[in-house]
């Protein structure tokens, strides 16, 4: 799968589950996250997965750990999850801080305390910019961890 084909599959799910008026704004969220990732291509890259769920993943180049994943949801807006395997890289305090910051931009409940946020909260530029800034901070934590593991030269 290519990023282009993955984006098309994501859009197919997005169009199935979201009203016409919301689609351009939700797609703009996806494109902003992809554009941010493209700017950081020396550290993260698209992970081609053969799936039909519409999920798109970008991984840490050095460790191949998923850095972010966007997932369409049935009858709901898509979800952005950051560093699903974060326990290996972040301290509990760093993870809790990220969760608190993400939760501050959404009204959607997050009882499991995951580093995730709905696209609905990212439609406004303030929320989107804050999450992209958080992604930058998390990426800075990933890079030293990869160096320490001898994965980056």
Write the pLDDT tens digit of every residue in 66-100.
999 999 998 889 999 999 877 678 999 999 999 99
Task: Give the pLDDT confidence score for residue 88 in this predicted structure.
Answer: 75
- String of DSSP letters for 14-73: HHHHS-GGGHHHHHHHHHHHHHHHHHTTTTEEEE----SS--EEEEETTT--EEEEEEEE
Show Cβ contacts of residue 30 under 8 Å, excluding neighbours closer than 6 positions: 7, 10, 14, 56, 70, 78, 119
C-alpha 30, offset from chain centre: 9
Do 29 and 119 meet the contact criterion of CB atoms below 8 Å apart?
Answer: yes
Q: Rounded to whole angstroms, how far apart are CA atoms 36 and 20?
A: 25
- What pLDDT, in 10s, does the model give residues 15-56? 888 888 899 999 999 999 999 999 999 999 999 987 778 999
| Cβ burial 38-70 (10 Å sphere, 16+ → b, else e) | eebeebbbbbeeeeeebbbbbbbbbbebbbbbb
What 3-state class would DSSP assign to 82?
strand
- Look at 122 and 17; give whichever has higher pLDDT: 122
Q: Considering only 8-12, 15-19, 56-60, which range has the smallest mean pLDDT?
A: 15-19
Task: Give the pLDDT confidence score for residue 153 in this predicted structure.
Answer: 41
């Amino acid at each position: 799968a290519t990023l282009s084909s993955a984006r098309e599959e994501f859009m197919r799910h997005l169009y199935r589950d979201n009203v016409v008026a919301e689609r351009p704004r939700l797609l703009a969220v996806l494109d902003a996250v992809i554009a941010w990732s493209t700017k950081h291509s020396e550290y993260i890259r698209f992970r081609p997965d053969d799936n039909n769920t519409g999920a798109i993943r970008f991984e840490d180049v050095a460790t191949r750990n998923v850095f972010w994943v966007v997932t369409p949801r049935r009858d709901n807006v898509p979800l952005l999850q950051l560093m699903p395997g974060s326990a290996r890289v972040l301290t509990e305090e760093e993870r809790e801080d990220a969760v608190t910051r993400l939760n501050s931009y959404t009204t959607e409940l997050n009882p499991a305390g995951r580093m995730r946020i709905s696209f609905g909260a990212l439609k406004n530029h303030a929320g989107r910019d804050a999450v992209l800034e958080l992604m930058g901070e998390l990426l800075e934590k990933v890079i030293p961890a990869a160096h320490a593991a001898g994965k980056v030269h």
